[in-house]
């Protein structure tokens, strides 16, 4: 159970998990509140039945009453299919999925917290719904220790319900893309001497793009050949960011690329990856960047310190601090050998800790009631994320 089938981190993780389970060890079904999305075709190609609550993107604000028939439809489908497990992901969907699972008598009801609980501050109704979902769930998966601690502090959940399964990435996709580095740079009009910093994040205020632009101004003052690629879907702030870049006098060095399906190639064409977020659960982009052999400058929020080893695979900086961010960007762009060395360490770290095999095995243990084998604290280090967008 999930809110939409758009190309997002959690959605891609779900699709990757299903790809490794469906028709091999399990039969999978998906219920999405929204009707369409790029992942619908991908799931269809896998032979996965997809049901929908028939909501459109803005219905939660404009017509929230549509959730009532969607909830009833979900309950009817659960009772019809009689699944062994109901696993729901992301806010609101977790409440609806847990409620349907319990009303349908499903043996194993699982929900997932994929990020810090800041959504409860932005939408107050979600706090009680989250707590009800926690109560209805037999287990709640989290994707970082930071999220683990946050849900305990915010929701006062019984810690024995929590299971930690880290996000994951397939490094081969990004390693293969490295051979096209020069070709992609030529296609993008990047000159040989230009140094490229890439930011992969949808254009949402809490992703910190405005801080990045202020940092970019300071970077360009010291490294005039610096160029910044901002990759991600506009969620309503691109025009403000474009005006900000113009006001800072860096428009020529900042490229807004929109949503792309060639992330691996864009990472391969870059020299450094930056994540300026104000909040994160556990960043898929960091794992993707490390898999591409890039050192990473990331804000020290959420699960970022669990992925980036400061001074080993990249740098951690305080959030909302453009000066600190600029300092580390200049430092690494100015020392390409060190940046390359850190990038190689990051790639090794991904291969050791964040593999799809570990993510899938973690979920299998959970679904089959074998999580006790992972330790008394019910923590499983596993992963799940990225099948490149165009492969969907």
Kindly state the percentage of the chain with pLDDT values over 90: 88
Q: Are residues 43 and 110 in the same domain?
A: yes
In the chain, how long is the greatest CA-to-CA distance? 64
Residue 232 lies in a domain: yes
286 Cβ contact list (under 8 Å, min separation 6): 273, 275, 296, 298, 304, 307, 308
| Two structure tokens written together for 234 | 């506009």
Q: Are residues 140 and 229 in the same domain?
A: no
373 contacts 392 by C-beta, under 8 angstroms: no
Nearest to 29 by CA among 103, 105, 97, 114: 97
Q: Are residues 335 and 371 in the same domain?
A: no
Q: Are residues 177 and 33 in the same domain?
A: no
Q: Are residues 359 and 349 in the same domain?
A: no
Residues in a beta bridge with 50: 30
Q: Are residues 160 and 268 in the same domain?
A: no
Q: Are residues 339 and 378 in the same domain?
A: no
Give 205-256 pLDDT, tens digit per residue: 999 999 999 999 999 999 999 999 999 999 999 999 999 999 999 999 999 9
**CATH number of the CATH domain containing 198:** 3.40.50.2000
Residues in a beta bridge with 66: none
271 Cβ contact list (under 8 Å, min separation 6): 195, 196, 197, 294, 333, 336, 339
Domain span holding position 285: 171-353
98 contacts 1 by C-beta, under 8 angstroms: no
Residue 263 lies in a domain: yes
Give 115-171 pLDDT, tens digit per residue: 999 999 999 999 999 999 999 999 999 999 999 999 999 999 999 999 999 999 999
Pairing status of strand 296-299 against strand 314-317 = parallel
Kindly state the percentage of the chain with pLDDT values over 70: 94
Residue 1 lies in a domain: no
Q: Are residues 259 and 133 in the same domain?
A: no
Residue 2 lies in a domain: no
Residue 4 lies in a domain: no
Give 162-188 pLDDT, tens digit per residue: 999 999 999 999 999 999 999 999 999
* Interval 378-385 mean pLDDT: 33
Q: How many domains does the chain have?
A: 2
Rounded Cα–Cα distance for residues 74 and 55 (Å):
13
pLDDT at 113 over 60: yes
Q: Are residues 369 and 333 in the same domain?
A: no
| Two structure tokens written together for 83 | 């699944």
Q: Are residues 48 and 93 in the same domain?
A: yes
Q: Are residues 341 and 367 in the same domain?
A: no
Q: Are residues 128 and 147 in the same domain?
A: yes
181 Cβ contact list (under 8 Å, min separation 6): 268, 269
Q: Break the chain down into helix, strand, coil percent, rounded to 5.
A: 50, 15, 30
| Two structure tokens written together for 119 | 């959504």
Residue 87 lies in a domain: yes
Residue 21 lies in a domain: yes
Give 259-284 pLDDT, tens digit per residue: 898 999 999 999 999 999 999 999 99
Residue 132 lies in a domain: yes
Rounded Cα–Cα distance for residues 86 and 133 (Å):
12
Q: Global pTM?
A: 0.88
């Amino acid at each position: 159970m999930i809110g939409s089938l758009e190309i997002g981190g959690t959605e891609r993780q779900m699709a990757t998990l299903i790809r490794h389970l469906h028709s091999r060890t399990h039969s999978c079904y998906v219920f999405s509140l929204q009707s369409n999305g790029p992942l619908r075709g991908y799931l269809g190609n896998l032979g996965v039945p997809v049901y929908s609550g028939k909501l459109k993107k803005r219905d939660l604000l404009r017509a929230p009453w549509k959730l009532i028939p969607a909830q009833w439809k979900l309950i009817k489908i659960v009772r019809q299919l009689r699944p062994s497990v109901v696993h729901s992901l992301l806010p609101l969907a977790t409440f609806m999925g847990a409620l349907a699972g319990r009303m349908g008598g499903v043996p194993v009801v699982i929900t997932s917290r994929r990020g810090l609980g800041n959504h409860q501050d932005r939408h107050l109704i979600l706090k009680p719904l989250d707590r009800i979902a926690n109560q209805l769930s037999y287990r709640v998966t989290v994707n970082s220790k930071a999220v683990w601690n946050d849900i305990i502090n915010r929701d006062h959940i019984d810690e024995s319900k929590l299971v930690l399964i880290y996000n994951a990435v397939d490094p081969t996709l990004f390693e293969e893309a490295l051979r096209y580095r020069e070709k992609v740079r030529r296609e993008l009009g990047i000159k040989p001497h230009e140094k490229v910093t890439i930011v992969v994040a949808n254009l949402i205020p809490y992703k910190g793009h405005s801080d990045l632009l202020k940092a970019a101004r300071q970077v360009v003052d010291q490294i005039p050949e610096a160029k910044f690629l901002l990759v991600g879907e506009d969620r309503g702030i691109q025009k403000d960011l474009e005006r900000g870049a113009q006001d800072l006098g860096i428009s020529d060095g900042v490229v807004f690329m929109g949503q792309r399906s060639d992330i691996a190639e864009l990472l391969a064409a870059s020299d450094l990856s930056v994540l300026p977020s104000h909040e994160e659960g556990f960043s898929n982009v960091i794992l993707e960047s490390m898999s591409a052999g890039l050192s990473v400058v990331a804000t020290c929020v959420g699960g970022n310190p669990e992925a980036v080893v400061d001074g080993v695979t990249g740098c951690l900086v305080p959030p909302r601090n453009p000066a600190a961010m600029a300092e580390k960007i200049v430092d690494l762009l100015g020392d390409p050998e060190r940046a390359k060395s850190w990038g190689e360490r990051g790639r090794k770290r991904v291969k050791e800790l964040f593999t799809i095999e570990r993510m899938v095995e973690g979920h299998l243990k959970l679904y089959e009631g074998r999580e006790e084998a992972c330790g008394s604290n019910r923590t499983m280090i596993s992963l799940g994320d990225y099948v490149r967008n165009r492969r969907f």
